[in-house]
A and B are shown apart, each in its own frame.
Chain A
Amino acid sequence: MKKLKDFIVNSRVWRSFFRHGWPDNPLDRSLIMTTNVFFHLHPVRVNKRSIKALYSFGLGVITTIMFVVLSITGILEMFYYVPSVDTAYFDIITLQTQVPFGQLLRNMHRWSAHLMVLTAVLHMVRVFYTGAYKRPREFNWVVGVVLLILTLGASFTGYLLPWDQLAFWAITVGTSVAGYEPMFGKLIQKLLLGGAEVGQASLTRFYGLHVMVIPGLLLLIISLHLWRVRKDGGLAANEVKDEIETEVENA
């Protein structure tokens, strides 16, 4: 059995996948972080303080997980949905009543969207109150503000897609705010809706923004955001000096 395992792990095929051994020693635990695309957003070593649950509450991680859940459920929903004012509403009904687990799929997409907005806001609140925006993390804070706005945009554009009364009037009310702005307001409103009122053009545009433009931007900027966390020295909890260090400094 051990022979078989050694044969597989040492084979050229396995070695071409993983360029390091089982991560039970310092060298391989470093290599797994630097050679794996999913792990490389993390640092090789983390501060003990930064992984305390009561420090970050895991809000940023949960927000990212919600983005993944939304992408998967969203792609599945796309298989059953056509963004046309004539069929969209009935596609949703079909999804809920005819498609296996369709109702669960739609529920998960809806609730995780709300949860993502909520955790993104709470994550920002956490980052603010722990002073984690301070130098050298200023830029990543700005990136975070952009991500929050994009998250709101993703949720708002998705809100129209079921094409029911709730969707129609929420978007009508939501976009009318832009129309109040005297300089470019009407132009922005018209650009978003593709006309003076919510109609087929709006549905087409919101769909395009919702399934392509905003998720694409989110994926790109979330990657930047996470990468910058590592590049800026990990969580701000690292900045806290422990007793010995404080003693040395005061000496």
Chain B
Amino acid sequence: MPDNNIPEENKSFSRSSKKTYSLVEIVKAPTTMVDKGPEDTIFAFPIVAILELMLAIGSTLVLVIFSLLKDAPLEELANPLITTDPAKAPWYFMGLQEMLEHMHPTLAGIILPALAVGFLISIPYIDYSREGAGVWFTSKRGKSIVGWTALYTLVAMTGFVLVDNAFPPRELLRDMLPNLVTQSLIPGAVMTFLVVLPLLVLWRSKEGIKNAREVMLVLFTVLFITAVVLTLTGFLFRGPGFELYWPWAMPNGYNPMDGL
């Protein structure tokens, strides 16, 4: 049992009175099982093998049943002379294709994706504290940060797509401002504002930003929900002429699900 006189070096691993201990060597090296006793572990065999086998059989079964019910699409032979309408990239790139509708290709296709990947890679090097590892959303506060950010992003990005679609600055301001401003600077500034806004709100809130993890929770949630909104918009809601329609009311008998 823990008592209050535990010496500093024994805090994480309480000694059993039935065993004898001696210090053999002190090694200075990173170790991942530090602070952990072996008590809450079990043998990996056979439980992990059984769990993995169950997942393998389960997911393969679902896959076979789905494959029996739904055939993979196959359209007519490729013809470079006849463009399909709409011409869409695979679904996981529809977020990128959707962005192309709203801003300059260099911004939509190169700069923002590069920033997104760069951000993903740098996450663990900015938020390097070990605190909260292994806990969903870190804490109750983390959970509410993620929830509110997700809700905000859902509304903000859907709004961005709809407003920009109704009043595209690159069309409306074409004769007044240079292309660089209407195609890159304006959408770039709007995007930056939409991404930074939830951080500003958190920063100015009563408790402020407590640590790097909270910044990451906000930014990752913005990135993830934005990707979901843009991908769904491009994949489900874009029809002939790459115009916005309800997925169930597409003209010319076009069905977005046929392009999977």
Binding site for B on A (CB under 8 A): 23, 26, 29-30, 32-33, 39, 42-49, 51, 55, 58, 61-62, 65-66, 69, 85, 89, 92-93, 96, 103-104, 106-112, 114-115, 117, 124-125, 128-138, 141-142, 145, 149, 152, 155-156, 159, 162-170, 172-174, 177-178, 180-182, 185, 197-198, 231-242, 244-245, 247-249, 251
Q: Is B41 an interface residue (CB 8 A)?
A: yes
Asked if B45 and A39 make an inter-chain contact with CB atoms under 8 angstroms apart, the answer reads yes
The interface stretch among B121-129, B168-176, B201-209 is B121-129
The interface stretch among B19-27, B105-113, B157-165 is B105-113
Min CB distance A11 to B, Å, is 23
C-alpha spacing A164/B125, complex, angstroms: 44
Min CB distance B245 to A, Å, is 19
Q: Is B74 an interface residue (CB 8 A)?
A: yes
Min CB distance B107 to A, Å, is 9
Q: Given A107-B72, A185-B110, A134 and B129 touching (CB < 8 A)?
A: yes
Asked if B133 and A110 make an inter-chain contact with CB atoms under 8 angstroms apart, the answer reads no
Kindly name the residue among B37, B47, B90, B108 whose own CB sees the greatest number of chain A CB atoms within 10 A. B90
Q: Given A108-B64, A248-B2, A134 and B127 touching (CB < 8 A)?
A: yes
Q: Which residues of B contact A43 (CB under 8 A)?
A: 44
Asked if A62 and B59 make an inter-chain contact with CB atoms under 8 angstroms apart, the answer reads yes
Q: Which residues of A contact B136 (CB under 8 A)?
A: 55, 129-130
Asked if B75 and A106 make an inter-chain contact with CB atoms under 8 angstroms apart, the answer reads no
Min CB distance A231 to B, Å, is 8
Q: Given A181-B106, A251-B6, A245 and B88 touching (CB < 8 A)?
A: no
Kindly name the residue among B55, B68, B79, B82 whose own CB sees the greatest number of chain A CB atoms within 10 A. B55
Nearest residue, chain A, Cβ from B36: A238
Q: Which residues of A contact B124 (CB under 8 A)?
A: 133-135, 137-138, 141-142
Q: Which residues of A contact B59 (CB under 8 A)?
A: 62, 65-66, 115
Nearest residue, chain B, Cβ from A184: B110
Nearest residue, chain B, Cβ from A57: B55
Asked if A48 and B40 make an inter-chain contact with CB atoms under 8 angstroms apart, the answer reads yes
Q: Which residues of A contact B3 (CB under 8 A)?
A: 251
Q: Which residues of B contact A103 (CB under 8 A)?
A: 71
Asked if B80 and A168 make an inter-chain contact with CB atoms under 8 angstroms apart, the answer reads yes
Kindly name the residue among A30, A134, A149, A244 whose own CB sees the greatest number of chain B CB atoms within 10 A. A134
Q: Given A133-B123, A145-B120, A239 and B130 touching (CB < 8 A)?
A: yes
C-alpha spacing A18/B93, complex, angstroms: 47
Asked if B93 and A93 make an inter-chain contact with CB atoms under 8 angstroms apart, the answer reads no
Q: Given A135-B128, A181-B109, A249-B11, A172 and B71 touching (CB < 8 A)?
A: no
Nearest residue, chain A, Cβ from B118: A145
Asked if A89 and B2 make an inter-chain contact with CB atoms under 8 angstroms apart, the answer reads no
Checking A145, A152, A164, A170 against B76 with a beta-carbon cut-off of 8 angstroms, the contacting residue is A164
Asked if B82 and A45 make an inter-chain contact with CB atoms under 8 angstroms apart, the answer reads no
Q: Which residues of A contact B46 (CB under 8 A)?
A: 23
Q: Which residues of A contact B51 (CB under 8 A)?
A: 51, 58, 61
C-alpha spacing A98/B115, complex, angstroms: 48
Asked if A61 and B52 make an inter-chain contact with CB atoms under 8 angstroms apart, the answer reads yes
Min CB distance B212 to A, Å, is 10
Asked if B67 and A108 make an inter-chain contact with CB atoms under 8 angstroms apart, the answer reads yes
Checking B109, B128, B137, B259 against A129 with a beta-carbon cut-off of 8 angstroms, the contacting residue is B137
Nearest residue, chain A, Cβ from B258: A166
C-alpha spacing A134/B125, complex, angstroms: 8
Q: Which residues of A contact B83 (CB under 8 A)?
A: 169
Q: Which residues of B contact A104 (CB under 8 A)?
A: 64, 67-68
Kindly name the residue among A26, A39, A132, A166 whose own CB sees the greatest number of chain B CB atoms within 10 A. A166
Q: Which residues of A contact B123 (CB under 8 A)?
A: 128, 133, 141
Checking A138, A155, A173, A232 against B92 with a beta-carbon cut-off of 8 angstroms, the contacting residue is A155
Q: Is B35 an interface residue (CB 8 A)?
A: yes
